[in-house]
Structure 1
Amino acid sequence: MAQPSPNEIYQFSIISALMDGVASHGIPISSLLTHGDHGLGTFRSMDGEMIILDSAVYQMKADGSIVPINTPDKVITPFGVITKFEPTQKVKASISGKLDLAVLLKGLFPSARNHFVSIRIDGTFRKIHARTAGGQEYPREGMVSVASRQSTYTFEAVKGTIFGFRCPEYVMGINVAGEHMHFISEDRLRGGHVLGFETEGEVEVGVAMASRFHMELPTEDEEFNDAELGLDSKGISAVEG
């Protein structure tokens, strides 16, 4: 199989499908890993948050536990985004939150407003506000309902890594417009979907712009075929932070 090209982005399914509760089926995570080594997503039935760093996959669950995925051929993702991450810009910066990050990205890539940007941040964080989804209680339960039972955490003075993507506005519903990022601590004991963060002094920031985006849609999936897939921008913004 051909190796993925650096910094191209591959995505399986779309966020609007999760909003409509399409999460019973998907592809093996081993298949997702053929497209890159850094990414994020979720698991069957929206059971927790996924982060992929250097090809290592972790499931961050609502009870606060972190499970390494050691048999990716046996674990299914209904939604995942991945890239072969090779940062084209590396800087050290102190970042006070998502708005500050957006200013930094604009300075690094002033002509990338309508492009995807992959982001990795390593260092010590003064505060990380994160959430993890607890999973569907029944098939086709939508993400807004699932998110009503999500667990939220605030981690303070924690060392770890944030990875995610800055997606352009026009892909809202396909992905999440703006920054969509997950965090895992260096000891691999804490993590989740990033709602907010602040660094403790300077951290290492690696970024890469992407102009190639590949998307694969589910096939032979009754849930996906039956889903309305209408754009719910307010709902996506509410659950994705």
Structure 2
Amino acid sequence: MKHSVTDCMCEQQLASTVSALRQHKPESVIYQTSLMSALLSGVYDGTTTVADLLRKGDFGLGTFNQLDGELIAFDKEVYQLRSDGSATSADPQQKTPFAVMTFFNPQYRHVLNGPASREAVHQIINEQVTSDNQFCALRIDGLFSSAQTRTVPCQHRPYRSMPEVLGQQPTFHFTDRRGVVIGFRTPQYMQGINVAGYHEHFITDNRQGGGHLLDYQLEEGVLTFGEISKLVIDLPNDSDFLKADLNPENLDSAIRSVES
């Protein structure tokens, strides 16, 4: 696909905007490509590459073209979590229809020396970042007695909507595994643009398994997190996106059903 001079200028302007915001308050910008409502409607092909994402952040999550598995990024590395439960390093030229990235610079650190549920971990964050109107990026490095995940299988045109696809999603249960959780807490007013509430992905310490988290039980670990108050969104301009219904009546319930 050829890119016009205008496309190149827009890309340069977007990169400059992200860079300028980071200089104003370092590591405080979320970059997002496309919208969750577009993904929900079956817009599964994008033009943003993994290499592009790593220019916008070193930490994040999303998916790959054709909804081919989950994306997790941290420490400047991007992994593809496939529908067989496996994980592999993503190729720099792989593309994504939806991803959320930031340069992770947490302001808070909490050591958990005993068992904690997912809800308990979230409560720690909520007690520190008290405004529901702020984004929050989080990471957990630890031992998980249980981690329940799901990963969407690769799709083919004509694409079905995401709720239809996830009715056939494979799920996995990791037990007594060390690994990394990365995620975001997103304000409710962003539902449809992003995923409101907590959205987290998991990968094992050997980087060979993981997925989108449904639930987990932490035995011990380190939680780091911080608030973010700036968001930059790169909207597609292809026909799939322009024709998609981005504001269906059941948007909130549909997103909750596919993410929980």
How far residue 141 of structure 1 moved from its aligned partner, in angstroms, is: 1.8
- Is 2:259 aligned against 1:240? yes
What SS does the aligned partner of 1:82 have? strand
Q: How far apart, in 2, do the equivalents of 1:7 and 1:164 lie?
A: 15
CA shift digits 1:52-91 (9 cap, x unpaired) = 011101000001221211x31x210000000000111011
Query: Which of the residues 205, 214, 226 maps onto 1:208?
Result: 226
CA shift digits 1:25-51 (9 cap, x unpaired) = 331111111111000000001010000
- Is 2:191 aligned against 1:172? yes
What SS does the aligned partner of 2:240 have? helix
In structure 1, the residue matched to 2:3 is none
- Is 2:242 aligned against 1:225? yes
CA shift digits 1:202-237 (9 cap, x unpaired) = 310000100111111002x11000001124111111
In structure 2, the residue matched to 1:27 is 48
Query: Which of the residues 96, 106, 116 maps onto 2:135?
Result: 116
In structure 1, the residue matched to 2:120 is 100
In structure 2, the residue matched to 1:82 is 101
CA shift digits 1:127-153 (9 cap, x unpaired) = 001000002232332111111121101
What SS does the aligned partner of 1:148 have? helix
- Is 2:92 aligned against 1:67? no
Q: Which runs of 5+ in 1 are unaligned?
A: none
How far residue 187 of structure 1 moved from its aligned partner, in angstroms, is: 0.4
How far residue 154 of structure 1 moved from its aligned partner, in angstroms, is: 0.8
How far residue 95 of structure 1 moved from its aligned partner, in angstroms, is: 5.8
Moved more, 165-174 or 131-140: 131-140
Identify if the C-alpha distance between structure 1 residues 95 and 14 changes in structure 2 by more than 3 Å, giving closer, same or farther: farther
Q: How far apart, in 1, do the equivalents of 2:33 and 2:99 lie?
A: 5
Matched residues, number: 236
Structure with higher Rg: it is: 2
Q: How far apart, in 2, do the equivalents of 1:95 and 1:239 lie?
A: 27
CA shift digits 1:104-128 (9 cap, x unpaired) = 1122222x32100000000100100
- Give the TM-score of the pair, scaled to structure 2: 0.87
Q: Which runs of 5+ in 2 are unaligned?
A: 1-14
What SS does the aligned partner of 2:168 have? coil
In structure 2, the residue matched to 1:194 is 213
Q: How far apart, in 1, do the equivalents of 2:195 and 2:117 lie?
A: 18
In structure 1, the residue matched to 2:12 is none
Backbone CA RMSD of aligned residues: 1.4
Name the amino acid aligned to 1:22: V
Q: How far apart, in 1, do the equivalents of 2:252 and 2:172 lie?
A: 24
Is contact 1:7–1:208 with CA below 8 Å preserved after alignment? Answer: no
How far residue 164 of structure 1 moved from its aligned partner, in angstroms, is: 0.7
What SS does the aligned partner of 1:86 have? coil
Q: How far apart, in 1, do the equivalents of 2:50 and 2:158 lie?
A: 21
What SS does the aligned partner of 2:71 have? strand
- Give the TM-score of the pair, scaled to structure 1: 0.93
